[in-house]
Amino acid sequence: MKLNEQGLADRAQWEAKGYSLPRFDREKVKAATYENPFWVHFGAGNIFRAFQANIAQNLLNEGILDRGIIVVEGFDYEIVEKMNWPHDDYTILATLKANGTVDKTVVGGVVESHILDSQNEAEYGRLKEIFSKDSLQMCTFTITEKGYSLVNGRGEIIPDIAADFEEGPAQPKSYIGKVASLLYTRYQAGEKPIAMVSTDNCSHNGDKLKAAITAFAEKWAANGKVEAGFEAYIKESGKVSFPWSMIDKITPRPDASVEQILKEDGVEELEPVITSKHTYVAPFVNAEETEYLVIEDDFPNGRPALEKGGVMFTTRETVDKVEKMKVCTCLNPLHTCLAVFGCILGYTKISDEMNDPELKKLVEVVGYKEGLPVVVNPGILDPKEFIDTVLQVRVPNPFMPDTPQRIATDTSQKLAIRFGETIKAYQASDELDVKDLKLIPLVFAGWLRYMMAVNDNGEAFELSPDPLTDTVRPYVEKLTLGGTVDAEALRPILENTKIFGVNLYDVDMADTVVGYLQQMIAGPGAVRKTLQEALN
């Protein structure tokens, strides 16, 4: 059983092993997509393969769509070269349910794939052709929040982007420069309308994408590298929209236990690949059953009926409420709590942490008691029901191979939105008092303790990647178990609003954080003891 057109020709063999297969004429869909593409997606990673690609498949199966998705990979070309092309753009989706069952689906919703290489005439030429088509309605993105940044962690403009600003849209080197270049192709083809839809897991994602694209349009216009009207096309014409969205589906990296299930079914050539850019990819993805995608309904060239596949379309204001509900209270902060303390306490599975009485209580109090009072109900999703699902179904799912180490990645970039917004809401409230927040400062102290890279047994461990590791580590690496915290030495970190969203001194939280940190470095076992005392 090989995952490609030839291997899937024997449908009965796959179906006998419990696989759901595409139920549409894929060759017909491919031909229609080639002639009249309507949906391009940037970012060929796991979340896309498990979510958007499967939405397209379901709608193709039902006859609601007659064309599929064209996926483009701009960060790591090997994903497409080593996964998409050898497998004819098919993926196996293993949906890991909390009851222990696994749904196995061969996803064929992607029917064309490309690398975003402006030096490759054939690949880039095809992308220009696609962007010239009247039929193209939208581009979606899962390139991570870092993908939209034009500067590095020190605030310096990235060299490739600086070069692209000067050299123009002919052969850009940077990811966003190439996307802006393709939009310039669309502009030159007749100022055709399009929706550019970020579905990355970050606040006001559409604005981040718009700011990045706009920067190129402005620089190229100022440098005389594009026609004068291009800047207005992006910024003012109403022909290019940048809707906000909220996405939520946990999709850990492909797990060996899932690989083994598929191998026992007889599926061949499943071995994962670690690319030269350290991306871990496989012919299959594993994901939870729960999924949410809420998008601002702003599509200048029309859109497909994705609501029939579970996507919720609404206003920008409602997307903002849903996003804040999830990112600031109902999921992301709880994940960060478990990530930070899970790493320190030696856990390697998020689900196992929900069997730990202290960690379970920690996320319950942070979610229900400290966060929920300041959540605005968006109407289309209920905040308490959302947390209930997170803490009772999603995070405890023992079959989801998610790790605190994965979630701990880039924590310095997450604390401000995941906790800082709650602190600000308490500040702004006439009925609530910031001093009532007992466990959010505990999490801040836990993160500083985590940045020591020493677990609760006193053993060194490897920190997850974070752009501010080199900035924060000098302030905490001198701390020792049994030592003393020098509050003044930590002041530059504690008053850093970019990290915490607020100056912890201004909200009278710095002393509490330092106090918790002092308790946590008392010696081996001190983190566990501090948790127990704080929760009682």
Q: Helix/strand/coil (H, E, C) string of 158-192?
A: CHHHHHHHHHCCCCCCCHHHHHHHHHHHHHHCCCC
Q: Which residues of 265-302 are buried (b: 16+ CB within 10 A; e: fewer)?
A: bebeebeeeebeeebebbbbbbbbbbbbbbbbbbbbbe
Per-residue pLDDT of the chain (536 residues), as tens digits, is 999 999 999 999 999 999 999 999 999 999 999 999 999 999 999 999 999 999 999 999 999 999 999 999 999 999 999 999 999 999 999 999 988 899 999 999 999 999 999 999 999 999 999 999 999 999 999 999 889 999 987 889 999 999 999 999 999 999 999 999 999 999 999 999 999 999 998 889 999 999 999 999 999 999 999 998 999 999 999 999 999 999 999 998 898 999 999 999 999 999 899 999 989 999 999 999 999 999 999 999 999 999 999 999 999 999 999 998 998 889 999 999 999 999 999 999 999 999 999 999 999 999 999 999 999 899 999 999 999 999 999 999 988 888 999 999 999 999 999 999 999 999 999 999 999 999 999 999 999 999 999 999 999 999 999 999 999 999 998 899 999 999 999 999 999 999 999 999 999 999 999 999 999 999 999 999 999 999 99
Q: Which residues fall within 8 angstroms of residue 466, CB to CB, at 6 or more apart?
A: 409, 410, 411, 412, 413, 472
Do residues 481 and 522 lie in contact, with contact meaning Cβ atoms separated by under 8 Å? yes
CA separation for the pair 67, 110 (Å, rounded): 9
CA separation for the pair 164, 171 (Å, rounded): 8
Helix (H), strand (E) at residue 8: none
Look-up: residue for tokens 């009532």?
436
User: CA-based Rg of the chain, rounded to a whole angstrom?
Assistant: 24
State CA 97 to chain mean position distance: 21
Do residues 408 and 453 lie in contact, with contact meaning Cβ atoms separated by under 8 Å? no
Q: What distances in angstroms separate CA 23 from CA 89, 101, 106, 112, one per listed residue?
A: 16, 23, 10, 18
Structure tokens at 172: 């850009």
Do residues 421 and 434 lie in contact, with contact meaning Cβ atoms separated by under 8 Å? no
Backbone phi and psi for residue 94, each to the nearest 5 degrees, phi listed first: -100, 110
CA separation for the pair 254, 272 (Å, rounded): 8
CA separation for the pair 515, 536 (Å, rounded): 17
Q: What is the pLDDT of residue 136?
A: 98
Helix 205-222 to helix 175-188 angle (10° resolution) is 70
CA separation for the pair 92, 216 (Å, rounded): 37
Look-up: residue for tokens 């869909």?
29
CA separation for the pair 455, 46 (Å, rounded): 30
Do residues 239 and 194 lie in contact, with contact meaning Cβ atoms separated by under 8 Å? yes
CA separation for the pair 159, 179 (Å, rounded): 17
CA separation for the pair 219, 225 (Å, rounded): 8
Closest C-alpha to 55, from 130, 3, 107, 114: 107
CA separation for the pair 456, 441 (Å, rounded): 19
Closest C-alpha to 243, from 178, 290, 303, 199: 199
CA separation for the pair 295, 244 (Å, rounded): 6
Q: Specify the length of the chain in residues.
A: 536
State CA 493 to chain mean position distance: 26
Q: What is the pLDDT of residue 398?
A: 87
Q: Which residues fall within 8 angstroms of residue 27, CB to CB, at 6 or more apart?
A: none
Mean pLDDT over each residue of the chain, to the nearest integer: 96
**E strands, 23-168, in order:** 39-42, 69-73, 91-96, 102-107, 110-115, 138-141
Handedness of CA 360, 364, 366, 367 (dihedral sign): positive
Q: What is the pLDDT of residue 327?
A: 86
Which residues does residue 39 pair with via DSSP β-bridges, in sequence order?
Answer: 138
